Amino acid sequence: MRTLNRLVTAAAAVVGYVALLLAISAGVDLREASAFHDAPAQYAAFVRALDSGSPDGTRAVARWFDQRAPSRSESRSSIRIAADAADDGELDLARRFTGDVAAEIALDQQALDETSAAAWDRALPWLVIGAVLTAGALVLRHQRRKVNIRAVEVVNAFVPPQPWWRRPVFLVVSAFGYTFMIGGFFAVVAATRANELPWAARGIILAGGVVALPIAYFVLKYSRPRSATSAAQTLRADWREPVLYLRGFGDDPEAAVVDELPGMLSTGLLSIHSREEHLIGALRAFGPVVAVGRPGEQLPHLGAARFYLPGDDWQSGVLQLMELSQLIVLRLGDGDGVWWEVDQAKTQPPRKLVLLIPGGRPDLAERLDAHLPKPAQIVAVPGKWTSHVVVFEKDWTPRVQPVGPFPGEKNKYGAAVFYVARAVQAGMREIGVRKRAMGPRINSHLLAVYGKVLLLVPALALVVSFLRLIFLW
Largest interatomic CA distance in the chain: 110
Residues 379 and 447 reside in one and the same domain: yes
Residues 132 and 162 reside in one and the same domain: no
Q: Output the CA angle 208-215-299, nearest 5 degrees.
A: 165
Q: Are 36 and 165 in contact (CB under 8 A)?
A: no
Separation of first and last alpha carbons in the chain: 45
Give 275-332 pLDDT, tens digit per residue. 999 999 999 999 999 999 998 888 899 999 999 998 888 999 999 999 999 999 999 9
Name the nearest CA neighbour of 445 among 181, 198, 167, 245. Answer: 181
Residues 168 and 217 reside in one and the same domain: yes
Beta strands at 398-402 and 388-392: parallel, antiparallel or unpaired: antiparallel
Residues 251 and 372 reside in one and the same domain: yes
What pLDDT is attached to residue 407? 66
How far are the Cα atoms of 209, 259, 365 from residue 254, in angstroms, in the given order?
30, 11, 19
Backbone angles phi, psi at 156, to 5 degrees: -95, 5
Residues 200 and 138 reside in one and the same domain: no
Last residue of a domain, one of 127, 145, 163: 145
**Residue 413 counted as domain residue:** yes
Residues 279 and 428 reside in one and the same domain: yes
Structural domain of residue 364, as residue ranges?
155-451
Q: Output the CA angle 215-216-220, nearest 5 degrees.
A: 120
Residues 250 and 336 reside in one and the same domain: yes
Residues 167 and 117 reside in one and the same domain: no
Helix (H, G, I), strand (E, B) or coil at 413: coil
**Residue 456 counted as domain residue:** no
Backbone angles phi, psi at 392, to 5 degrees: -135, 140
Q: Work out how many domains the chain is built from and give that number.
A: 2
H/E segment holding residue 363 = helix 362-371
Each as own residue / partner, the long-range contacts of residues 79-82 (CB below 8 Å, 24 or more positions apart, any chain) are: 79/43, 79/46, 82/46, 82/50, 82/58
Q: Residues of the chain whose pLDDT is less than 70? A: 260-271, 406-415, 472-473
Burial 80-110 (b: 16+ CB within 10 A, else e): bbbbbbbeeeeeeebeebbeebeebbeebbe
Residues 334 and 355 reside in one and the same domain: yes
Cβ-Cβ contacts under 8 Å for 16 (sequence gap 6 or more):
130, 133, 134
Mean of the per-residue pLDDT values of the chain: 88
Residues 184 and 265 reside in one and the same domain: yes
Q: Are 57 and 35 in contact (CB under 8 A)?
A: no
